């Protein structure tokens, strides 16, 4: 009779699965880049409108809209996009 060596108890029968470390190159900065740029653009538009209105004494208007209203909408769109991206699953990013 041929004797085979018995496997050690508690030894894994397969090689352990190693997980790749999470990527640190992207992260939060990558997710929030565009929303923060939109918010900054909206804020810059609104501040520019206020400064021009105070310096010139008359408010600018593009049709019936002041640039401050457009800047406010751009800012809100960036804030909504930031919230949406932060609450999304990793697979949806």
User: Residue 57's pLDDT is what?
Assistant: 86
- Within a domain: 5: no
Instruction: Give the integer Cα–Cα distance in Å for 53 and 93.
Output: 40
The encoded tokens of residue 38 equal: 């939109």
Residue 82 confidence class, pLDDT cut points 50, 70, 90: very high
Number of structural domains in the chain: 1
Domain-embedded: residue 10: no
Whether residue 11 has pLDDT greater than 60: no
Average confidence score pLDDT of the chain: 83
Within a 10 A sphere around the Cβ of 63, how many other Cβ atoms?
5
What pLDDT is attached to residue 41?
Answer: 97
Range of the domain at 53: 28-88
Q: Is-above-0.85 flag for pTM?
A: no
Cα–Cα distance measured from residue 85 to residue 30, given in angstroms and rounded to the nearest whole number: 10
| Structural domain includes residue 62 | yes
Assess contact for 71 and 46: CB atoms under 8 A.
yes
CA 89 to chain centre: 12
Residue 20 lies in a domain: no
Residue 8 located in a structural domain? no
């Amino acid at each position: 009779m041929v004797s085979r060596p018995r496997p050690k108890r508690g030894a894994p029968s397969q090689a352990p699965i190693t997980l790749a470390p999470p990527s640190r190159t992207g992260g939060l900065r990558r997710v929030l880049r565009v929303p923060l740029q939109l918010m900054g653009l909206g804020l810059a538009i609104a501040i520019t409108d206020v400064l021009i209105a105070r310096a010139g004494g008359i408010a600018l208007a593009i049709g019936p809209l002041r640039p401050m209203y457009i800047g406010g909408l751009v800012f809100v769109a960036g804030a909504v996009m930031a919230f949406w991206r932060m609450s999304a699953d990793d697979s949806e990013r």
